[in-house]
Structure 1
């Protein structure tokens, strides 16, 4: 536990700074372009390269490439150096070609991810122009992702977690410049100029270029010397293809679900301006914060160790690593999920209600975030369970689990979209997400437990129960803070929201830590002890 905690803490620190600067970036974005048509056009264009990267690379990295690099390091005479160089060469060449093709296909891609954005309309043309400026980042993002994977297999976690900070700082500067240049018309899609679109799009890409450079420099400092290698016979593409085909299948299925989400949310935004893709995107980014800070850090540290445990036939270590990871993640996710469900609008008003984004628009983002709070714990456990299969080199089972989860999500999204008024449609999409991942986590748990001959479900279930009981007083305190502030001050504004967050969020988390400490929840005590030890130095 202590080793996992230390490695996770290093990554969590970088991820925390990354997420904080990411919030600043999102705040400046909301200030500059708002949540109406201009915001929807930017967020639609911005989502496409990440969808393509998920399809081609990022899903394969975690499930196939990291375990293969670990095996090459363990079994190849040169410690896997040549294999890593081949991997970097193939990735660079392939993604340059993909980026070029994506730029050419930008109109088709925008059409795929939206509904009723007709070619020739201003929203469609702006989205296409932004996509053409943003899509070249595919090549740089992919190179940085492979560099980060190689660093992780060498237990160098700091650079991959801190590099996004550079990206955020670059884009914050670009967005601030756009806000100054465009002024009060920055959120008006009818008045944005081609030069302003170029600044937004190319500035977004410049952030990814800077991020990739940081990772490449970090890789060089640990002794990696990049030598282009085109001897594909030794690249193990066949092995990678056999393992990765199922992962690609899983990513295709999830991306089809994401495509449905963007289409439904864009239709909702057309029906009720300000209730479309942008509030969904902003709420999802906030929802991902606790998972990104804690969950990704723990998973990144966990996967190489689980892979080594499987390779060496130590299933007890695999079970122990998984159990420690679930309890550590849940000790943070449980109270945060309850607080998100209570404090959603109080969180989003101070962040987003500036410039081109109104208070009412920020409140709606908070309403969507409240619904997302339901999904936080199931989503995190689901992601951990997938890594159990990936550690075994099994990329097929996650496809079937992911297919079922995505199918349930798709059906529920369509049902809620049809039943709910358009102003609540995006909230319905978030609820469908929560239900689907809760069901998916249950199925994945059953299958993973069979694979490793038990996951300690009773012990983990009891630990989660104790965490929820310890978090309930914090949720009650947060509810009391919301009710009192509304009775005394009326509706939400910037100052009222800060008061609610200070009492409900700040004191609420301190109350949780105190109750959990008295309840002797070991994961919370480990975190408190580690922080206290560092503060006392």
Structure 2
């Protein structure tokens, strides 16, 4: 536990700074382009390269490439150096080709991800131009992702967690310049010029270029010397393909679900301005923060060790790694999920209610975030469970589980779209997401438990129950702070929201730590002890 805690803490620190600067980036984005037409066009164009990367690379990295690099480091005479060079060469060339093809296909991609955006309209033209300027980042993001995977297998976790900070800083600077140049244009796509769009699009891509450069430099400092290798016969592509085809299948299924989400959200946004893709995207980014800081850090540290344990047939260690990971993640995510459900608008108003984004727009983003709070713990456990299968080299089962989860999500989203007014559609999409991942986590748990002859469900369930009990006073304090501020001041403006966050969020988390410490919850005691030890130095 202490080893995982230390490794996770290092990564969590970098991820926290990354997410904080990401918040600033999102705040400046909301200030500069708002939540209406220009915001929707930018967010669709920005989402497409990430969807393509998921299809081609990122899912395979976590489930197939990392275990294969670990095996090559252990079995190959050169410690896997040549294998790593082949992977970097092949991924660079392949993604450069994909980036070029994606730029050419930008109009088709925009049509796939939206509904009601007519070809020839200014909103559609803006989205296509932004996509063509942002899609080239595919190649640089891929290079950085492979470099980061190699660093992780060498237990070098800091650079992959800190590199996005530079990306955010670059884009923040670009957005500030854009806001200055665009002036009072705001989110009006009819008044924005192509030159201003070029600044916005290329500036976004420049951030990814800087991020990739940091990772490449960090990899060189480990002694890695890149030599292009095109001897694909020794790249184990066949083995990777057999293992990765199921992972790609899983990512295809999830991206189809995401495509449905953007289409339904874009239709709602056309019906009720400010209630479309941009509120969904901004709320989702905030929802992902706790998982990104805690969940990703723990999973990144867990997967290589779990893969080694499976290779050496130490299944008891697999169960131990999983149980420790769930409890460590839950000790933070349980209170945070309750706070999101209570404090959603108080969080989003200080972040987004600036420039062309009004307080009313920010409150709606907060309402979506409140619904997303339901999904935080189930989503994190679901992702941990997938890594159990990946550690065993099983990429087929996650496809089945992911397909079922996405099918349920799609069905529920469609129902929400049909029965709810357009003003509540995006909130309904978030609720469908929460229910689908809760059911998906239950299914994945059952299958993974059979694989390792039990995951310690009763112990983990009791530990999570105690965490929820410890977090109830925090939720009550947060709810009381919201009620008191609204009664006294009559609403959630910028200053009022900060008061709610200070009392309900800040004091609430301190209350949780105190109650959990008194209840002798080990994971919280470890965190409190580590923080107290560092403060005492």
In the superposition, the TM-score normalised over structure 1's length comes to: 1.00
Aligned to 1:183: 183
**C-alpha separation between the residues in 1 aligned to 2:533 and 2:452?**
36
Aligned to 1:389: 389
Task: Provide the aligned length of Structure 1 versus Structure 2.
Answer: 537
**C-alpha separation between the residues in 1 aligned to 2:533 and 2:124?**
54
Residues 1:220 and 2:220 are matched in the alignment = yes
Match runs of 1:88-487 below 5 Å:
88-487=88-487
**C-alpha separation between the residues in 2 aligned to 1:214 and 1:530?**
29
Query: Any stretches of 5+ residues in structure 2 without a counterpart?
Result: none
Match runs of 1:79-94 below 5 Å:
79-94=79-94
What's the CA shift for 1:184? 1.7
**C-alpha separation between the residues in 2 aligned to 1:534 and 1:233?**
50
**C-alpha separation between the residues in 1 aligned to 2:245 and 2:36?**
39
Aligned to 1:506: 506
What's the CA shift for 1:183? 1.2
User: Matched residue of 1:371: which SS?
Assistant: helix
**C-alpha separation between the residues in 2 aligned to 1:29 and 1:460?**
40
Q: Deviations over 1:153-180 (max 9, x none)?
A: 0000000000000000000000000001
User: Matched residue of 1:189: which SS?
Assistant: coil
What is the RMSD of the two structures over their aligned residues, measured on CA atoms? 0.4
**C-alpha separation between the residues in 1 aligned to 2:11 and 2:387?**
18
User: Matched residue of 2:393: which SS?
Assistant: coil
What's the CA shift for 1:88? 0.2
What's the CA shift for 1:186? 2.9
**C-alpha separation between the residues in 2 aligned to 1:311 and 1:414?**
43
**C-alpha separation between the residues in 2 aligned to 1:441 and 1:529?**
31
Tell me if structure 2 keeps the 8 A contact 1:272–1:422.
yes
Query: Any stretches of 5+ residues in structure 1 without a counterpart?
Result: none
What's the CA shift for 1:187? 1.5
Aligned to 1:56: 56
**C-alpha separation between the residues in 2 aligned to 1:452 and 1:223?**
37
**C-alpha separation between the residues in 2 aligned to 1:23 and 1:378?**
24
Q: Deviations over 1:399-422 (max 9, x none)?
A: 000000000000000001100000
Tell me if structure 2 keeps the 8 A contact 1:178–1:186.
no
Q: Deviations over 1:336-389 (max 9, x none)?
A: 000000000000000000001000000000000000000000000000000000
What's the CA shift for 1:492? 1.1
What's the CA shift for 1:83? 0.2
What's the CA shift for 1:106? 0.2
**C-alpha separation between the residues in 2 aligned to 1:535 and 1:224?**
36
User: Matched residue of 1:228: which SS?
Assistant: coil
What's the CA shift for 1:275? 0.1
